[in-house]
Amino acid sequence: MDENALKLLVKLTQEGQLSSLEKQITLGGSATVQAVSSKHFGRSGDTLLHYAARLGHLEVVKYLVKRVGMDVEVYNHDYKRPLHEAASMSHQACVAFLLREGAKVDSLKKADWTPLMMACTRRNLSVIQELLCHGADPSLRNKDGWNSFHIACREGDPLVIQHLLLVAPDVWRTESKTCRTPLHTAAMHGCEEAVRILLERCDYTPDSADSCGVTPFMDAVRNGHISVARLLLEKHQVSPTAVDILGVQPVHQVAVTGQEEALWFLVRDLKVDVNQKATDIEVTALHYAAKEGHTSTIKTLLELGADLHVRDKKGRTALHMACIGQHAHAARTLLQLGLKDSEDTSGTTARQLAKKPDAVRVFECVSPDAS
């Protein structure tokens, strides 16, 4: 077939125009049928069956399998089968048909994702139930060590999470390759109802840490999910001052991400020391905020009682950190607030660390007594 004829078949398939598609293929005869059944299109290597399954055109899917003879296990360049496509887009009827026609329920696409994992990226319990009824294994893990329950906890649908726990009660007992639990995932994404279910039904250890020492509470606050953080405190008795492998506390992580409401929550509500230093490098929240260039966060920290003149292990102030990050506006703000330039333990001034023109100009514009 010529290229234009093939493009027309793709278009008709994507639009779900079964009668026109059938007519074009029939007119082409057996040669067209053979070409269509094995043709892969574009960079992805999709077939007509992939297109039809992805878009939920059930009658087209049936025609391509029953009449054209396409293999339900045909895969594209990412090893995605039509079942992956239908599951990922929540097309239950297509999922059911493909499974009845012999599609392997736990087939793996690139990165070892199963159709059930793909289905769990959507909040459609019926598709998930369809796959489970055909023997899908929710405990299988992808290349990152995530199983379907991890993925469901990222999306946060309470019905999906409860159903997976019903059919596989131990599915929560899993960690990714970086030792992250489904509780980490739910907390990080602010899925409050998911976190509540996990705390009620699963036996997670308070302050369970991933390979970097990060706890679910840390994930919650550094992403600004205060309600989730409160829930972890109330129901799980977690520590608001736990440290990761670098000795960094939640107050420092919140400064990095610029979550000012979380700063108020930690310092004012939980009485966390705003000047607490990360143990390994003796850096404060103010240092972190300056290095990231969070000018508003710098002001919030000072309002909460941060020491403008505190130094880290290398004798650097927040001004040094702002210049390391080449954040001119943050450096200007610190100078205007009264922080003077000075040398660290190696004799280096903040001004010497400023490389970008706008950062250098900050020091040229301030009055002599300010620098």
pLDDT tens sequence across 240-267: 999 999 999 999 999 999 999 999 999 9
| pLDDT band at residue 368 under the 50/70/90 scheme | very low
Domain membership of residue 85 (yes or no) is no
The span from the CA of 227 to the CA of 192, in Å, is 7
> Any idea of the CA torsion for 108, 111, 112, 114, to the nearest 10 degrees?
-60
Which whole number is the average pLDDT over 349-370?
79
> Where is pLDDT greater, at 339 or 369?
339
What is the residue-averaged pLDDT of the chain? 95
Higher pLDDT, 116 or 367: 116
What CATH number corresponds to the domain at position 309?
1.25.40.20
Average pLDDT over residues 193-211: 97
Q: What is the pLDDT of residue 367?
A: 46
Range from 45-59, 165-179, 346-360 carrying the lowest mean pLDDT:
346-360
User: How far is it, in rounded angstroms, from Cα 172 to Cα 145?
Assistant: 13
Where residue 20 falls among pLDDT bands split at 50, 70, 90?
A: very high
Indicate whether 82 belongs to any domain. no
pLDDT tens sequence across 267-320: 999 999 999 999 878 999 999 999 999 999 999 999 999 999 999 999 999 999
244, with CB counted inside 10 A (0-12, 13-18, 19+), is: buried
Judge whether 293 lies within some domain.
yes
Q: Average pLDDT of 224-244?
A: 97
Q: Is 349 helix (H, G, I), strand (E, B) or coil?
A: strand
Q: Which helix (DSSP H) or strand (DSSP E) does residue 355 occupy?
A: none
> What are the C-alpha distances in Å from 36 to residues 10, 32, 97, 256?
10, 6, 20, 53
Q: Which residues pair with 46 in a beta bridge?
A: 41
- 103 in a structural domain: no
The fraction of the chain above a pLDDT of 90, given in percent, is 90
Cα Rg, the chain, nearest whole Å: 28
- Residue 366: the pLDDT is 62
Decide if 344 is inside a domain: yes
Residue 369 has pLDDT above 60, yes or no: no
What pLDDT band is residue 359 in, cutting at 50, 70 and 90?
A: confident
Mean pLDDT of 21-49: 92
Better-scored residue on pLDDT, 37 or 229 = 229
- Hey, which bits of the chain come out as E strands? none
Which residue do the tokens 């036996």 mark?
203
How would DSSP label each residue in 74-135? ---TT---HHHHHHHTT-HHHHHHHHHTT--TT---GGG--HHHHHTTS--HHHHHHHHHTT
Parent domain of 319: 245-371
Res. 334 pLDDT band, cuts 50 70 90: very high
- Give yes or no for a contact between 138 and 148, defined as CB atoms under 8 angstroms apart: yes
Mean pLDDT confidence for 55-78? 97
201 located within any domain = no
Beta bridge partners of 349: 343
**227 in any annotated domain:** no
Res 1: pLDDT: 67
Biggest CA-to-CA distance, the chain = 88
> Does a structural domain hold residue 195?
no
The SS3 of residue 159 is helix
Distances (CA, A) of 136 to 133, 196, 280: 7, 26, 46
Distance CA 150, CA 170 (A): 13
- Total domains in the chain come to 1
